Amino acid sequence: MAALRYLEKRGNLNHLPLLDARMELATGAGLRRQIQRTINQIKRRHTEQADNLAAAPVSTGNGSRKNKDRLLLKSLSWIAVGAAAVYAAIRMLLLFV
């Protein structure tokens, strides 16, 4: 019974064939009821997970691409600003020499 309670909370679809086979061998009505309850709970949890997965927004993966493009553009702009500053400093030095 403790194993059934554990499977009721943590079991997955892989346990269903084992529980079905155990249901055929079960002799007592209480044991059959507990096994059926465990099977139903596993199926319910699987259905809820599938529904949550279906309702989740689909990510196309473009978000990370956009972030990389923004980072590249920002880096290039800082390089351009740095190059302009160096050019201006050199021109100022040449002006006074």
- Pair 23, 39: CB distance under 8 Å: yes
The predicted pLDDT at position 82 comes to: 93
The contacts of residue 1 (CB under 8 Å, 6+ apart) are 31, 34
The mean per-residue pLDDT over the stretch 63-74 comes to 83
Higher pLDDT, 16 or 51: 16
The predicted pLDDT at position 62 comes to: 62
State pLDDT tens for residues 35-63.
999 999 999 988 888 888 878 776 666 66
Mean pLDDT for all residues in the chain: 86
The predicted pLDDT at position 2 comes to: 87
